[in-house]
Amino acid sequence: MYRCYSRPLQAAQLGARTLLVEKNAGLGGTTTSANVAFPGLFHAWGEQVIAGIGWDLVCRAVELSGDALPDFRDDERPHWQRQVRVNAPLYGALLLEEVHRSGLDLRLHTMPASAHWTGELWELQLCGKDGLEPVTARRLVDCTGDADVIGLAGLERRRNQDRQPGTIDIRLSGYDVDALDHDELDRGHTEAVRSGALLASDLGSRGRPLLPFLAKRGENAIHLVGIEGATSEGRTAGELAGAAAVLRIYRFLRTLPGLENLRLDFRAPEVGVRESVTIAARTTVTGEDYLAGRVWADSVCNSFYPIDVHRPDGDGIDKTHLRHGVVPTVPRDAMVPAGNPYAVVAERCVGSDQAANSALRVQATAMATGQAAGALAAMSADLGADVTDVPMTDLRRVLVRSGAIVPALPALPV
């Protein structure tokens, strides 16, 4: 329904009359609103495995800012060094320009208030600054990141009891990392946690996290535990927790020798939520499926990222890297709610367990599933059939024609 620009652009390219609803002031989701401005991974083992509309826009943003793409051929580099850094403000402006040019109907500062499937159409209420507005749609694509519209429609969503922490992104300056006394930093951190001046999870891990935190200038490091991202009440609590963590960290750091002139140069406008809900889908991708590189018969795109579970208590990250040569895939049926095949879901809410979801949630895969979702919705509406009745050969042909990369299907047994 909103947040994934690949989806509406793909649907619009196929001639579908498309309404894109976005709750924020601009497009790009966490890339622009939470400053997670390093989408990846588009390449695996020296080869590109994800392309299409999202990749093209990322490349255009990099070119526009005068920057260069990483060397994707070097598999020895850590995975995070093969993510693509984008200038978030330029990227967001580029997305708005592209969506406006496409001719689709864009509504910013708007959220869905209700959703009901009549058996023929989706009846929705949108809540904007001027009140409620009824709209109808033949097909629904939910790219909210929290399966909001699926929940409003009464379809099942699943929550893990112990969810991964969120993060509020910041940028610090005003100090020389190499000139700091590491032992003094460790002693200060230990005492601050003991006294309650800091939470053990504030810097992203326990042990000796202060030097790595400062070396990263605080970027994508703060862990906010217990975030409930799928409700407004939970998101409000998360934003309050993010603001409190930033102030705790800032006040503490300025008491340490060498950090007296520390400055907070940037704070993201929104807390980034790693995990909220997934849909009860026709297929659920497990961590075992992902690590084995299972190629589903209804695969719509590749995915590539290590299993990346940020521990729910905030104490670091559990990573499991893929074996050399393994490239996981995403099945169409993980994107289709079990209770209604006239809707399709993309991004991090696809049917998956916590392990698989920790890898599937990243931005390159979100772009690929978003494009596939747009194609599915437009083609099924054209056929007058549910999304699972769209022939996979036709869907794959459309995606390839739009620049996407589709997985090579396994050979049938003889």
Same domain, 15 and 137: yes
What is the predicted pLDDT for the residue at 340?
A: 98
What is the predicted pLDDT for the residue at 8?
A: 63
User: Which among 209, 240, 267 is the end of a domain?
Assistant: 267
Same domain, 349 and 382: yes
Residue 79, domain member (yes or no)? yes
Helix (H/G/I), strand (E/B), else coil: 390: coil
Same domain, 14 and 86: yes
Residue 407, domain member (yes or no)? no
One-letter amino acid of 311: R
Domain that holds residue 190: 170-267
pTM of the model: 0.93
Q: Which residue has the tokens 């367990």?
A: 353
What is the predicted pLDDT for the residue at 413?
A: 47
Residue 300, domain member (yes or no)? yes
Q: In angstroms, rounded to a whole number, what is the distance separating the alpha carbons of residues 346 and 348?
A: 7
Same domain, 156 and 35: yes
Give residue 376's region: left, alpha or beta (phi > 0; psi -120 to 50). Answer: alpha
The β-bridge relationship of strands 47-48 and 43-44 is antiparallel
Tokens of 28: 């790009």
Per-residue CA distances from 343 to 2, 45, 119, 153, 302 (Å) = 13, 34, 12, 10, 21
- Per run of 10 residues, the mean pLDDT along the chain (length 414 residues) is 51 76 95 94 96 96 95 83 94 95 94 97 97 97 96 97 96 96 92 95 89 94 95 97 98 96 96 97 98 97 97 94 96 98 97 97 97 96 96 96 91 48
Residue 414, domain member (yes or no)? no
User: Which among 267, 298, 328 is the end of a domain?
Assistant: 267
Count of all residues that appear for the chain in the document: 414
User: Which among 267, 283, 308 is the end of a domain?
Assistant: 267
Same domain, 262 and 293: no
Same domain, 302 and 252: no
Q: Which of 141, 153, 178 is nearest to 373 (CA)?
A: 141
Quick check: bond before 185 cis, omega within 30? no
Q: In angstroms, rounded to a whole number, what is the distance separating the alpha carbons of residues 78 and 384?
A: 46
Q: How far apart are the first and last CA of the chain?
A: 42
What is the predicted pLDDT for the residue at 213?
A: 95
Same domain, 247 and 360: no
| Total domains present in the chain | 2
Tokens of 59: 């490349």
Same domain, 304 and 249: no
Residue 411, domain member (yes or no)? no
Residue 76, domain member (yes or no)? yes
The β-bridge relationship of strands 105-107 and 19-21 is parallel
Task: Return the DSSP state at 8.
Answer: H
CATH number (domain holding residue 104) = 3.50.50.60
CA 11 to chain centre: 20
Q: What share of the chain is helix, strand, coil (3-state, %, to 5)?
A: 35, 20, 45
Same domain, 205 and 240: yes
CA 262 to chain centre: 31
Residue 410, domain member (yes or no)? no
Same domain, 145 and 191: no
Q: Which of 407, 410, 411, 408 is nearest to 50 (CA)?
A: 407
Same domain, 64 and 138: yes
Q: In angstroms, rounded to a whole number, what is the distance separating the alpha carbons of residues 120 and 118?
A: 5
Tokens of 197: 């001046």
Same domain, 155 and 45: yes
Residue 103, domain member (yes or no)? yes
Q: In angstroms, rounded to a whole number, what is the distance separating the alpha carbons of residues 290 and 323?
A: 11
* Residues ≥6 apart with Cβ < 8 Å to 138: 121, 122, 342, 381
What is the predicted pLDDT for the residue at 113?
A: 97
